[in-house]
Structure 1
Amino acid sequence: MARIVVLCVLIVLGLLIKEGEALYCYRCNSNQPGCGTPLNWLWFWGETCPEYDDKCVKIIERKDAETIITRECLSTVTSFRTDMPADKYEGCRPAAKDVRLGHYVNNSIHQLDIHRSYYDEVTWCFCYFDHRCNGATSVTVSILLLSIGTVIHHFTI
């Protein structure tokens, strides 16, 4: 009888204990050492995103042999990136084309790239189910599963 009570208490505690509301994402650019492919997670441990319902984003921009990878929170890049795809669910998809970008600008300096046409291929990858999911593979263990496994192991001994 005491074992069943202990098991019920552990299950209830496992359901009540939850992680914080913030999502942890890697926030770096591949111009920084360790942020390229593969990501060196010892240098970048991840930071919390500012919004409570945020997503982790990995933006891959390619021009011939040059590849730039940006890992960031979605709420951070929405203020200055207009090529974000409309579908922001889990997975990778090509960038959207903003036809209004640089429409009213008459600028002859090509290095400014006001139309964002420098890169041949831009891919957006979204994820929000796991912490630090916009980089290396990670393993997350639920507190509930860990406690149930411990109790089951204890009862079988």
Structure 2
Amino acid sequence: MAGKIRLEDRECPLSAALGVVGEWWTLLILHDAFDGYTRFDQFQENLRISSSILTSRLKTLTANGLLERRRYQSQPDRYEYLLTDRGRSLRPVVVALAAWGNSQLRPEQRSMILIDRETGAEVEPVVVDRASGRPLDPENFVFAAGPAASETMRARYAGVTSRPPG
């Protein structure tokens, strides 16, 4: 199913997405890929992950279109794993998750922070609506049944209505 998350009988998009990236090694491998790691030995050394687990996760990431496997050497064959556009689109999710993790720590306990490349100033990411620029807080933004929702999903969100601003 090229270009699509395999739903595996899951109607909820959160459940479907977690089926692809919910295993914690997967997110750590993606984080390393965002930092420029591409080769098996780089991932293995940095993450201290067993070769069998890493092999399995790289196959899953490749099968789901998040990484592309390319040969960079023959005899013996060696491959690198490059982020695809689909893989790069997960960066804001990983950044937001890391920021949430940091928010649970005192500043002196943080081993990694997000900074502005130009100024070096630490930044605090927020998730916003693209159209309005407003933070996606629960007072203003809620989930509702979509066009493909089952009766169960429609029942879950039956009480959700839009309200006029102000």
Could you say which TM-score interval applies, normalised by the shorter chain?
A: under 0.3
Question: Which gives a bigger RCO, structure 1 or 2 (Cα 8 Å, sep 6+)?
Answer: 1
More helix by share: 2
Bigger strand fraction: 1
Larger Rg: 1
